[in-house]
Amino acid sequence: MTTTLDTNAAFHIAGCVITAQPDAAAIDYCVDWARRHGAEVLSQDDRTAVFVQFDATSGRLILFGCGAAQARKPPTLQFAYASAVKEAAGADGQRRAGERGLVQAGDLAAAARPGQVLLSSQLGSLLQVAKMEPFERLRPMRVPLGDGRTASAYEVEPRLASPA
pLDDT tens across 26-55, in order?
999 999 999 999 999 999 999 999 999 988
Report which DSSP code applies to 115. T
3-state helix, strand, coil in the chain (%, to 5): 35, 30, 35
DSSP state letter for 161: P
Closest C-alpha to 61, from 90, 85, 83: 83
The model's pLDDT over 117-146, given as tens digits with 9 standing for 90+, comes to: 999 999 999 999 988 889 999 999 999 999
Q: What is the pTM of this model?
A: 0.87
Task: Report how far residue 138's alpha carbon sits from residue 56's, in angstroms, rounded to the nearest whole number.
Answer: 19
Among 2, 145, 99, CA closest to 60:
2
By CB atoms closer than 10 A (0-12, 13-18, 19+), residue 47 is middle
List phi, psi (to 5°) of 55.
55, 40
Q: How many residues does the chain have?
A: 164
Q: Confirm or reject CATH 3.30.70.3270 for domain 9-156, answering yes or no.
A: no
Tens of pLDDT, residue by residue over 106-118, are 999 999 999 999 9
First to last CA, the chain: 20
2-23 average pLDDT score: 76
